[in-house]
Amino acid sequence: MKQGAEILIDTLIEEGVDVIFGYQGGAVLPIFDLLYRTKELKVVLVRHEQAAAHAADGYARETGKVGVCLATSGPGATNLVTGIATAYMDSIPIVALTGQVPSTMIGNDAFQEADIVGITRPITKQNYLVKSVEDLGKIVKEAFYLARSGRPGPVLIDIPKDVSTGKCKSLRLGAVSIRSYNPTHKGHPLQIKKAAEAIAKAKRPVIYAGGGVILSNAADKLKELAEKTQIPVTNTLMGLGGFPGTHPLSLGMLGMHGTKYANFAISEADLLIAIGARFDDRITGKMDEFAKGATIIHIDIDPSEISKNIKCHIPIVGDVGQILEELNKIAEPPEISEWLSKIFAWKKGYPLTYKDDDQLRPQYVIEKIYELTNGEAIITTEVGQNQMWAAQYYKFDKPRRFLSSGGLGTMGYGFPAAIGAQVANPKATVFDIAGDGSIQMNIQELATCVQEKLPVKIAILNNQYLGMVRQWQELFYDKRYSHTDISVAPDFVKLAEAYGILGIRVEKKEEVTKAIKEAIAYKGPALLDFRIVREENVFPMVPAGAALTQMMDGIA
């Protein structure tokens, strides 16, 4: 006979779990008590449950494995919701474990009771309320299968306290098979052939690669296709690193804050090969102007994404990696020398740029972090200007090096995600590029870094504003800075020191290199407070509802 908590932990170990990000509470006491005696599983005690979900998410993005977080019932469970929604929007495989009041008390408004299954139904691939200890092992295995297979995503398991303390015979469970869930992995050969024929005939082709390339571990196959056909590649925010950012065929990021040359190329393309991307509004701009002269090939494992936002002409449903492998066998390079000449002229004529003067500008900070880490760091970001500057000025040559909240745009994501990435890869240099607003969302996790001896580096681009919202207020609201001034803030250096962390304030451009080198060399966590130009903006910028060609560049 085994206790429910024991069955849970045994099954987690069988599924390859080596770390859980969690926070204690009454409904999960039996689980944490057993974890106290379990050497195979490391528990990272965060300081807020939202951080547990984001750390599990960061761990999953960095490793490709399923991340796991654990919280108690009621407020513990509801504090996970933002992190679960973040993972859902970006198709990240996590399993969220929550405690629940005893089964007999469910529905009675018991202390710390919340219907977390009902609350998270719209933001999970699947969720479960475990009704008997006999079902627990099977549910856990199903949850991991669902989280990692097909289009990945979060799954929640709600475990009443009587289930975690109850006992039953240990059951040997076989492979998971769910009759109603059979994602297509192999692309249809005829559709792949049609795609190859369209590529061969194209005169102005562009590859538009999203996060699905990274989730499918297909970066090498994408590079093979691009080099074989010489078709230029643009990446979404989530796809950065899926194709080398320093490659001659790279167009960088497209969309609202994408490069001018990527947006020009999309707008003039006669063939658009969308791979593991979902045509969201930040990418397309005005939808009826997006690639309006192009035949569109759309490769995606989720059939519901095909023609959801933009009409597709050649759909191929299946795993990106498998489809690219087959496409690479038959694709032939088109004659596109004139197109490439135009692309390279755009790249030369419209580079990403900013004012190069003696003031401390955020773009310069990102460039120096890139230079001093040799482009090898794992970069996490918060959301807003800091996120866009990191995406623009740090060139990602490898997948799983850029971790950011794309779909939900969650402030407070980057720091706990950096913790998850550092736990996953202890020897890596991990930087969280943060804003002074977003870092305060989960700044309590400085304690987690100290307790776990995690050498995460935090670079705060401190402009004393909610920067991206302020930028919109400047450009579209006649500089009415309504509630975006956050100059009343902590002294971040003193705060870091209060936690026992190295804190460095940087106020001058000439201090940047020395400060970054010092932070990298320091064995523990470090916080860099860069006092940047207050009203610096992110450009290029496509205004909401405008076409991709209608970019603002900030040049007077």
403 touches 432 (CB < 8 A) = no
**Beta-bridge mates of residue 317:** 300
264 touches 217 (CB < 8 A) = no
Q: Which of 388, 468, 541, 551 is an active site residue?
A: 468
Name the amino acid, one letter, at 451: Q
Q: Which of 2, 65, 125, 161 is an active site residue?
A: 161
Distance CA 70, CA 468 (A): 33
Q: For residue 224, give both structure tokens.
A: 């093979």
Q: Where are the alpha helices (DSSP H) in 385-523?
A: 385-393, 414-424, 446-452, 467-476, 492-498, 512-521
Q: Which of 24, 112, 444, 451 is an active site residue?
A: 112
Distance CA 472, CA 45 (A): 38
Query: If you search the block for the tokens 């085994």, which residue do you land on?
Result: 2
Name the amino acid, one letter, at 109: D
Q: Which of 49, 113, 452, 536 is an active site residue?
A: 49
Name the amino acid, one letter, at 462: N
- Asked if 142 is an active-site residue, the reply is no
359 touches 392 (CB < 8 A) = no
Spatial CA neighbour of 157 closest among 283, 348, 17 = 17
Distance CA 518, CA 14 (A): 42
Q: Which of 14, 40, 111, 203 is an active site residue?
A: 111
Q: What is the DSSP letter of 66?
A: P
9, 10, 14, 20 alpha-carbon torsion, rounded to 10° = 20
Stated as kind and residue range, the H or E segment containing 529 is strand 526-531
Residue 128's Cβ-side half-sphere holds a number of Cα atoms within 13 Å equal to 24
Spatial CA neighbour of 465 closest among 375, 419, 532, 367 = 532
- Asked if 49 is an active-site residue, the reply is yes
- Asked if 431 is an active-site residue, the reply is no
34 touches 163 (CB < 8 A) = no
Distance CA 357, CA 546 (A): 31
422 touches 397 (CB < 8 A) = no
- Write down how long the chain is: 556
- Asked if 161 is an active-site residue, the reply is yes
- Asked if 468 is an active-site residue, the reply is yes
Spatial CA neighbour of 119 closest among 152, 173, 81, 169 = 81
Query: If you search the block for the tokens 């593991």, which residue do you land on?
Result: 276
Stated as kind and residue range, the H or E segment containing 299 is strand 295-300
Catalytic residues: 49, 111-112, 161, 468
